[in-house]
Structure 1
Amino acid sequence: MRPVLSRGLTAAAAFALVSGLGVAAATSASAAAGCQVSYSVNQWNTGFTGTVNVTNLGDPISGGWNVAWTFAGNQRVTQGWSATISQSGTRVTATNPSWSTTIGTGASVNFGFNADYSGTNTAPASFALNGVTCTGSTTGGPSTPPTSNPPPAGNKADNPYAGARGYVNPEWKAKAEGEPGGTRVSNNPTAVWMDRIAAIAGSTGSSSNGSMGMRAHLDAALAQGAGYIQFVIYNLPGRDCAALASNGELGPADLPRYKSEYIDPIAAIQADAKYASLRIINIIEIDSLPNLVTNTSGQAGATSQCDTMKANGGYVNGIAYALQKLGALPNTYNYMDAAHHGWIGWDSNFNPVADLMKSTVQASGSLNNVAGFITNTANYSALTEPYFTVGTTVGGTSVRQSKWVDWNQYVDELSFAQAFRSRLVSIGFPSNIGMLIDTSRNGWGGSARPARASTSTTVDTFVNESRIDRRIHAGNWCNQSGAGLGERPRSAPASGIDAYVWVKPPGESDGSSSLIPNNEGKGFDQMCDPNYTGNARNGNSRTGALPNAPISGAWFSAQFRELMANAYPPLT
């Protein structure tokens, strides 16, 4: 249930070079060859991350490709991804990986690298593909313009994910590819978490927050030729009132700062005409509004902080302000957090949360300020349970009576998301709203994954032996042992679902297993301690958390490796 917060180091500068690039793919003298390259850099005092995007303007390339360039200074590549990169003196060659040997006409490939330097980090003067220097046009045939995702025109896209390539965060990509086998998943788009004011510009030092600020990520998305980029807007006053690991920098009374120092600068950056061709997707304030229904006075999970945030209106007013400012932009798409089925799947929570969503969006000035809603962000709820449904009975007893389901109306995330969407439309939201489901950690593969329904006639045994979700309790949310990567990001996978997404970047910790002092406002939550025996919100069960976890947002190698090992669908 609890999300993580973003990354470390900062980009001191960013620039981009766009040039043509020749293609030596012709099979006859009349074959057309040509291509275009965009080269972008996010740099700091002694190093930088480079991104190269190559678009083929000529005839298709098959059998492999390589891109070569010469550095003007003392730049030295230290790590690469999505290509095998070698360097001799100032000459660098990037050769295709085994899974990317072709480039069709109008198609693109991209790769990146980390490098160090001193002095001036001058961009290469030219590039060559398969030995032919770029000319910016085709040779031996008619010129073919590069393809890209068209900018939104007039009305916004009904589904911003459809027909668009997602932005691959180079910082997450580098960490993923630093793990054995990480290249199998490192090209998936993940969201960028704007978890505090400093993250907007980027921050220096060894913080777990990333070096790249919002503009740097947007510039990198342009360089990649991406069609959409995802940001998590996550810095409410009194943030995450029912947990500690993801508490934030703003106190309960800091709504004015949230508006003027956080939302306003974000809106100003996203409004820059430079980014008009990008579909900017904002995931609005994870773990906020549902707390006002489930964790205030009279509820089993009540906390004084949640009571405070309900009374002072900080969550509702802050989110309404964010929706209004960001929803007014022509190429932005707001998706509000709608928790997950293991949180609000009961009748007592389901309709009240939907009603609160509506009143909050109305406070923004228009229901059209949202494109849809997202469930399961940073959580582990299974996408589907293939061996039973909420209507299954065992020996005449409904599975709803099992300890695991606990009278919930839903047993998996897809059925919940579709039902919640229907409820939202029924109370007045536009009929074209869509849902997102975060599938970054809900694959539940590996040897513990059931292969068939249980034959037991005892309902608890049947459910426990049949369920894909292998958590001890559905309320467990921190660094869950045995979890796996879920469905890879893709658009329009099911009715009413705009996309499966990886909003939570796999490999980033949910919270530390023990108290770790830090200057990021991140506390220690016992739900991240594998030895904690639980509380009312998880049925007084053990947490199922992995040991030796770092603070939230920091890279957790052991978790990432386990997620890959247990991926479902399996990795190849």
Structure 2
Amino acid sequence: MNVWRRLSGQRRALALAGAGVLVAGGLVTIPVTAAQAATQCDVAYSTNDWPGGFTANITIKNLGDPINGWTLGWTFPNSSQRVQQGWSAEISQTGSQVTARNLSYNGSLATGASTSFGFNGAWSGSNPKPASFTLNGVACTGGTTTPPPTDPPPTDPPPTDPPPAGSKVNNPYAGVRGYVNPEWKAKADAEPGGSRVSNNPTAVWLDRIAAINGTTGSSSNGAFGVRDHLDEALRQGAGYIQFVIYNLPGRDCAALASNGELGPNELPRYKSEYIDPIAAIQSDSKYRNLRIINIIEIDSLPNLVTNTSGQPGGTAMCDTVKANGAYVNGVGYALAKLGAIGNVYNYIDAAHHGWIGWDSNFGPTADMLKSAAVASGSTVANVHGFIVNTANYSALREPYVRITDSVNGQSVRQSKWIDWNFYVDELSFAQAFRQKLVSVGFDSNIGMLIDTSRNGWGGSARPTGPGATTNVDTYVNGGRIDRRIHAGNWCNQSGAGLGERPTAAPEAGIDAYVWVKPPGESDGSSELIENDEGKGFDRMCDPTYTGNARNGNSLSGALPNAPISGAWFSAQFQELMRNAYPAL
């Protein structure tokens, strides 16, 4: 349904309301009459309804002179209708009277410009739509511009009613095509042989506020903003699109390569200038038939378990964001705002087996994820699942090393590589961690994602059988698929290859194998590079670095001559293709 479709007159509006057309997933657009021609604005009000509650999305279009600051008012027809939680506006209610005021970032509307906000509400008996609106105290009646055609434009999805809130599909990846980011595709296509993989869906990283509207920097986000990507997804006929929500205050507290723009005490700015605008765009009813998948804050919550005081390599920044609640409350707020949208699916990052596979980290990390899921007004219902191995290299399967193996009576867990971990690969870890997450209170239908963009480890060096049984180290090192120097190494790893191509429902409990980290985008610079994105230099990206306590004082295994995180790294892309498994 085109959000700007107008009704021909008040009588038709009332007739449709009486027929129930505007009750579930309905749309009100105030009609135009000659007497109202001086008013130069238009309001579209649509809802997703369920028994006792609803989500409302409201779009204001300015058809008159530019305005700087707006206040929208309306009266609920039913005295039981109540606003509960809103976003992208300051909303207050007295009796049946509702007032919504702009926030700092969306108050200016040029002629022809639009802005959207929304809220969750409650009702009893019925949930009729407001009959009229005022903008800055003046009746908003649609102006005198020529109404657009009643048929939706060709780029709109089929005009079917959206599903009621709470009726999301179990697996958003199943049965539909994924969105191919044209900006990433263009870079891949420019590489020799890159067209062999460039049609795979990859995620769009929103790693700073400017990425919401599009940037011109050297990192992964380019000229396309969130709305541009969503519009392109509609044009492609894609069924799902993936965004990485990645801009917490004090981001990447245990490393430097992906430090962000927000300081550890800037949670209010994270909410109002980052999450709220993203939610406003994603909630536009134009995209209601597109499954929008948000990957929530990479490497954040596990850092609060493993990289605070008392842990090897603990940092002051991790202590700060744990103490002030920036991560827990930031993630909770993102889940609540984005999860309220009927076609949005949130997956929280849950690290990888080489990080939290030990008992000392496994349970506490599950508890930390639960604490964030119920923070800042969120509930576990806003979490559709979790993702492991994001932007990492851990092998999907280790066919020649099992955690139950022993050599000469000694468990492989005692090898230097495994180091008493309970898992050797991501698939076994993801399936086990899913069960742990259910046990701490998450829904039994949650699904897991595994990022397979760089964990193939193919090529001529790939083992073809178990290692020598001289001792546990020769056995493990000779047979393991993952050829990193240490499982804690994470930056631009030498010898890595493309992994399994994006696939829906490949294993029990796994919603999809995904390419969330777009192959060819750097993890971090191999030396200090000045930039305007707040990204620092981490020695783990320096191939000459001999390590720290977190990687057993081992060499970093990083490729040389790498650009800043998110920037295109041609040498890495070529190596990933050479070592792909399954092979290209």
TM-score, normalisation: structure 2? 0.72
Deviation at 1:456, TM superposition (A): 2.1
Q: Does residue 367 of structure 1 match 2:376?
A: no
**Helix, strand or coil at the partner of 2:347:** strand
Instruction: Give CA deviations for 1:91-122 in whole Å, capped at 9, x if unaligned.
Output: xxxxxxxxxxxxxxxxxxxxxxxxxxxxxxxx
Q: Does residue 153 of structure 1 match 2:169?
A: no
Corresponding residue to 2:418 among 388, 405, 411: 405
Corresponding residue to 2:518 among 497, 501, 505: 505
Question: d(CA) in 2 for partners of 1:150 and 1:447?
Answer: 51
Deviation at 1:208, TM superposition (A): 5.2
**Helix, strand or coil at the partner of 2:374:** helix
CA contact (8 A) 2:547 2:554 kept: yes
**Helix, strand or coil at the partner of 1:335:** strand
Question: d(CA) in 1 for partners of 2:220 and 2:444?
Answer: 40
**Helix, strand or coil at the partner of 1:269:** helix
Question: d(CA) in 1 for partners of 2:490 and 2:367?
Answer: 25
Deviation at 1:148, TM superposition (A): 8.1
Deviation at 1:207, TM superposition (A): 5.6
Deviation at 1:211, TM superposition (A): 1.1
Equivalence for 2:285: 273
Question: d(CA) in 1 for partners of 2:384 and 2:515?
Answer: 18
Deviation at 1:360, TM superposition (A): 1.2
Equivalence for 2:244: 232
CA contact (8 A) 1:473 1:539 kept: yes
CA contact (8 A) 1:228 1:279 kept: yes
CA contact (8 A) 1:149 1:226 kept: no
Deviation at 1:569, TM superposition (A): 0.4
Equivalence for 1:289: 301
* C-alpha spacing 1:478/1:150, structure 2 compared with 1 (3 Å): farther
Larger of the two Rg values belongs to structure: 2
CA contact (8 A) 1:280 1:331 kept: yes
Q: How does 1:319-334 map to 2 (within 5 A)?
A: 319-334=331-346
Corresponding residue to 1:468 among 476, 481, 486: 481
CA contact (8 A) 2:218 2:567 kept: no
Q: How does 1:509-520 map to 2 (within 5 A)?
A: 509-520=522-533
**Helix, strand or coil at the partner of 1:509:** coil
Question: d(CA) in 1 for partners of 2:162 and 2:386?
Answer: 21
Q: Does residue 459 of structure 1 match 2:472?
A: yes
Q: How does 1:290-309 map to 2 (within 5 A)?
A: 290-309=302-321
Q: Does residue 432 of structure 1 match 2:445?
A: yes
Q: Which amino acid aligns with 2:438?
A: V
Unaligned runs of 5+ in 1: 1-145
Question: d(CA) in 2 for partners of 1:498 and 1:562?
Answer: 28
CA contact (8 A) 1:472 1:541 kept: yes
Q: Does residue 338 of structure 1 match 2:350?
A: yes
Equivalence for 1:542: 555
Deviation at 1:359, TM superposition (A): 1.5
Deviation at 1:428, TM superposition (A): 1.6
* C-alpha spacing 1:205/1:378, structure 2 compared with 1 (3 Å): closer
Deviation at 1:149, TM superposition (A): 12
Deviation at 1:251, TM superposition (A): 0.2
**Helix, strand or coil at the partner of 1:348:** helix
Equivalence for 1:317: 329
Q: Does residue 389 of structure 1 match 2:399?
A: no
TM-score, normalisation: structure 1? 0.73
* C-alpha spacing 1:152/1:544, structure 2 compared with 1 (3 Å): farther
Q: Which amino acid aligns with 1:352?
A: P
Question: d(CA) in 2 for partners of 1:150 and 1:541?
Answer: 57
CA contact (8 A) 1:148 1:225 kept: no
Question: d(CA) in 2 for partners of 1:152 and 1:187?
Answer: 28
Equivalence for 2:570: 557
* C-alpha spacing 1:482/1:360, structure 2 compared with 1 (3 Å): same
CA contact (8 A) 2:468 2:474 kept: no
CA contact (8 A) 1:286 1:377 kept: yes
Equivalence for 2:270: 258
Equivalence for 1:217: 229
* C-alpha spacing 1:393/1:206, structure 2 compared with 1 (3 Å): closer
Equivalence for 2:64: none
**Helix, strand or coil at the partner of 1:176:** helix
Q: How does 1:154-169 map to 2 (within 5 A)?
A: 154=164, 155-169=167-181
Corresponding residue to 2:463 among 447, 450, 461: 450
Q: Which amino acid aligns with 1:356?
A: M
Instruction: Give CA deviations for 1:297-317 in whole Å, capped at 9, x if unaligned.
Output: 110120000000110000000
Question: d(CA) in 2 for partners of 1:334 and 1:207?
Answer: 24
Identity of aligned residues (%): 77
Unaligned runs of 5+ in 2: 1-155
CA contact (8 A) 2:189 2:195 kept: yes
Q: Which amino acid aligns with 1:226?
A: A
Question: d(CA) in 1 for partners of 2:188 and 2:247?
Answer: 26
Question: d(CA) in 1 for partners of 2:284 and 2:258?
Answer: 30
Q: Which amino acid aligns with 1:153?
A: P
CA contact (8 A) 1:377 1:503 kept: yes
Q: How does 1:89-104 map to 2 (within 5 A)?
A: none
Instruction: Give CA deviations for 1:13-55 in whole Å, capped at 9, x if unaligned.
Output: xxxxxxxxxxxxxxxxxxxxxxxxxxxxxxxxxxxxxxxxxxx
* C-alpha spacing 1:498/1:207, structure 2 compared with 1 (3 Å): closer
Corresponding residue to 1:357 among 365, 369, 373: 369
* C-alpha spacing 1:152/1:335, structure 2 compared with 1 (3 Å): farther
Question: d(CA) in 2 for partners of 1:148 and 1:465?
Answer: 55
Which structure has more relative contact order (CA 8 Å, sep 6+)? It is: 1
Deviation at 1:455, TM superposition (A): 3.2
Deviation at 1:150, TM superposition (A): 8.1
Deviation at 1:204, TM superposition (A): 3.2
**Helix, strand or coil at the partner of 1:534:** coil
CA contact (8 A) 1:335 1:371 kept: yes
Deviation at 1:152, TM superposition (A): 5.6
**Helix, strand or coil at the partner of 2:249:** coil
Question: d(CA) in 2 for partners of 1:229 and 1:205?
Answer: 22
Question: d(CA) in 2 for partners of 1:393 and 1:148?
Answer: 58
Question: d(CA) in 2 for partners of 1:307 and 1:240?
Answer: 12
